[in-house]
């Protein structure tokens, strides 16, 4: 890389995306192996966000279940245990009275991604899906994790 004129440096930049540096003239210098990225600067400039959302295609706001694989957070693990008890014992009236985040948590634990993806569905519909899932499996058991 003997490019030293401004025109040749600009041509190099436009053809490869590499900004010219005198270091590139060293025969042993490899910019991929010998330059460490500045992660804090990359965060500040939004490069990490672009990498994750554009290059890797990970965006929780898209309707492709990317956000549905995260464990829904619940406020009280004792209440979650009670929700498990209601589902296991068939006490669907009390189960239906629980806050929606607990029902979404049960959907997640049962592997039911559709209610997580489409959170506009009503309480009765989600309960119906949960009950059908439990009846098709014959039982429901999960270890509580948060």
Tell me the HSE value of 102 on the side-chain side, using a 13 A CA sphere. 20
Yes or no: say if 124 and 103 are a contact pair by the CB < 8 Å rule. Answer: no
**Predicted confidence (pLDDT) per residue in 24-44, tens digit:** 889 999 888 888 877 777 777
Provide the Cα torsion 129, 136, 138, 146; round to 10°.
-40
pLDDT at position 69, please? Answer: 55
Higher pLDDT, residue 82 or 62: 82
Residue written as token pair 């590499």: 18
If you average pLDDT over residues 53-65, what whole number do you get?
Answer: 63
**Predicted confidence (pLDDT) per residue in 17-26, tens digit:** 778 888 888 9
**Predicted confidence (pLDDT) per residue in 69-84, tens digit:** 566 677 788 888 888 8
Single out the residue of 114, 95, 111 nearest to residue 103, CA to CA.
Answer: 95
pLDDT at position 28, please? Answer: 93
Yes or no: say if 100 and 123 are a contact pair by the CB < 8 Å rule. Answer: yes
**Predicted confidence (pLDDT) per residue in 95-138, tens digit:** 888 888 888 888 777 777 665 566 666 788 888 888 887 777 66
Surface-to-core class of residue 95, CB atoms within 10 Å of its CB (0-12 exposed, 13-18 middle, 19+ buried): buried
How far apart CA 61 and CA 5 sit, in angstroms, is 47
Surface-to-core class of residue 4, CB atoms within 10 Å of its CB (0-12 exposed, 13-18 middle, 19+ buried): exposed
pTM of the model: 0.47
pLDDT at position 1, please? Answer: 46
């Amino acid at each position: 890389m003997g490019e030293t004129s401004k025109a040749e440096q600009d041509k190099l930049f436009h053809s490869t995306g590499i900004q010219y540096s005198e270091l590139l003239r060293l025969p042993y210098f490899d910019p991929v192996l010998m330059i460490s990225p500045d992660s804090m600067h990359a965060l500040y400039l939004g490069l990490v966000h672009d990498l994750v959302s554009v290059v890797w295609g990970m965006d929780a706001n898209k309707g492709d279940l990317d956000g549905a694989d995260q464990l829904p957070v619940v406020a009280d693990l004792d209440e979650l245990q009670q929700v498990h008890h209601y589902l296991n014992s068939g006490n669907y009236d009390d189960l239906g009275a629980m806050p929606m985040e607990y029902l979404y948590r049960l959907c997640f634990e049962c592997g039911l991604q559709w209610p997580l993806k489409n959170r506009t569905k009503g309480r009765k519909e989600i309960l119906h899906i949960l009950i059908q899932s439990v009846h098709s499996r014959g039982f429901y058991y999960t270890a509580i994790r948060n």
